[in-house]
Amino acid sequence: MTKKVRLAITILILSEFLVCLGISLVIPVMPFLRNEYHFTATDMGVMTSLFAFAQFAASPIIGRISDRAGRKPVLVIGLLLYMVSEIVFAWTNQLLFFNVSRIIGGLSAAMVVPTSMAMAADITTKRQRAKVIGYLSAAFSGGLILGPGLGGILARIDYKFPFWAAAALGLLSMISLAIFLPKEEDLIPKEQIAKEVGPLVHRGKMKDILTTAVVLLFAMILISSFGLQGFESIYSLYVNQVFHFTMSDIALVLTINGVLSLILQVVLFDRLVLAFQEKRVIRYAFLISLIGTLWIVLAHSKWEVVIATLFAFTAFDLLRPAITSLITKISSGNQGFMNGLNMSLTSIGNIIGPIMSGELLDMNPHYPYVVVAGFLAVSFLMTYLLRNTEERVGATTDD
């Protein structure tokens, strides 16, 4: 990997981390906004959903645009929109503009996150790709993990200060990316692009892009994001109601999980892929997450719940980068579109998963995890349909 490629990867990691940090900064401020401006719970729910909906609607379109116009312009505009969304959120005191800010933020995430993944796939070899995608996934997870804590600390100064600070970081990140990030065609020799990556602008027909293997992987992305959000969104309510976890207990479990997630994605993910290949990592991750989810339902003590939770969350944290890595290897062209669709399907899970789990929790506290376990079991069985895909991809990973 050349110095230019390393620099580009570093900039992409920082950009993705920043956007994901901005996504989660709002979490500790939400109760204050509701009380300060007398918003209803529905108002707050709509505000949250608008971000995910904008991300869902825009991701495939923006991915297609980045395949044609190039990654760098899309990333620069995405960071500009990130800055604008944070400024609007910090400036306004009206529900309409809070909602506008969240929509702009969703567009920003749709531009930065999948485009970063697509550019990483463009400029790395297949052997390097798992490691780089692991780094980007760690940046994604790290931003979401650190955002609420940082937002809470900065909000002690003023409840809108986190958003002014995020806007300033967004401006610096946009300027740095515009100045220092090389164009993707300058990062890899033309011979290597032709041999391994394919044309950066590839106008393949939809039926050629969405092969059976890719459709299966996208179905797994949808199910895994659905399962993760269904699992995570009511986790604190479930363990508090059933096992009487305190807020300190919940915070400790989630903190341990966050540390394990970062270690796995940064240090071990590449080694796991080299040892087992992506398909087996995906299969084992679905199996472990299924075991962890069922274990929580059947657990009788707090320690069992803690261990089962770490099993489930750790497996979830491996699923997304493993599936993303395999998709980039199967489809050498149209990386922007493929990663945009990846993000869009994840957003569907983010919208539907919490709603479903909340309604099931009202019926019976165990119902959400029983349903999630069912989806995970179906996904585990689906991995056996990828046998031919593994053989075709495996032949290329040794290039």
Domain boundary at 174, 201, 228, which? 201
Cβ count near 152 (within 10 Å): 14
Looking at the structure, tell me whether residues 222 and 352 fall in a common domain. yes
Q: Has residue 200 got a pLDDT over 50?
A: no
51 token code pair: 């971000």
The answer to whether 178 and 76 are in contact (CB under 8 A) is: yes
Q: Could you tell me which of 220, 15, 26, 23 has the C-alpha nearest to residue 114?
A: 15
Q: Has residue 102 got a pLDDT over 60?
A: yes
Cβ count near 1 (within 10 Å): 14
Looking at the structure, tell me whether residues 61 and 133 fall in a common domain. yes
pLDDT given for residue 107 in this prediction: 92
Residues 6+ apart with CB under 8 A from 130: 269, 270, 273, 274, 278, 321, 325
DSSP state of 182: P
* pLDDT above 90 as % of the chain: 12
Domain boundary at 167, 201, 235, which? 201
Looking at the structure, tell me whether residues 167 and 222 fall in a common domain. no
pLDDT digits (tens, 9 = 90+) for 83-96: 999 999 989 989 89
Mean pLDDT across 164-181: 87
User: pLDDT category, 291, cuts 50, 70, 90?
Assistant: very high
pLDDT digits (tens, 9 = 90+) for 110-151: 898 888 888 887 788 777 777 887 788 778 777 777 776 677
SS3 content of the chain, % helix, strand, coil (to 5): 85, 0, 15
160 token code pair: 């809108």
Looking at the structure, tell me whether residues 192 and 233 fall in a common domain. no
Query: What span, in angstroms and rounded, lies between the C-alpha atoms of 233 and 354?
Result: 5
Q: Which residue has the tokens 């306004």?
A: 92
Of the two residues 329 and 208, the one the predictor is more confident about is: 329
pLDDT given for residue 113 in this prediction: 82
DSSP state of 399: -
The answer to whether 341 and 59 are in contact (CB under 8 A) is: yes
Looking at the structure, tell me whether residues 114 and 213 fall in a common domain. no
Range of the domain at 19: 1-201
- Total count of domains within the chain: 2
Looking at the structure, tell me whether residues 379 and 329 fall in a common domain. yes
User: pLDDT category, 247, cuts 50, 70, 90?
Assistant: low
Q: Has residue 390 got a pLDDT over 60?
A: no
Looking at the structure, tell me whether residues 228 and 183 fall in a common domain. no
Domain boundary at 147, 166, 201, which? 201
Looking at the structure, tell me whether residues 247 and 392 fall in a common domain. yes
Report the greatest alpha carbon distance in the chain.
61
Q: What is the CATH number of the domain that holds 240?
A: 1.20.1250.20
User: pLDDT category, 195, cuts 50, 70, 90?
Assistant: very low
Looking at the structure, tell me whether residues 181 and 237 fall in a common domain. no
Looking at the structure, tell me whether residues 51 and 141 fall in a common domain. yes
Looking at the structure, tell me whether residues 110 and 240 fall in a common domain. no
pLDDT given for residue 84 in this prediction: 95
Query: What span, in angstroms and rounded, lies between the C-alpha atoms of 299 and 311?
Result: 13
Query: What span, in angstroms and rounded, lies between the C-alpha atoms of 291 and 297?
Result: 10
Looking at the structure, tell me whether residues 383 and 248 fall in a common domain. yes
Q: How far is CA 295 from the centre of its chain?
A: 25
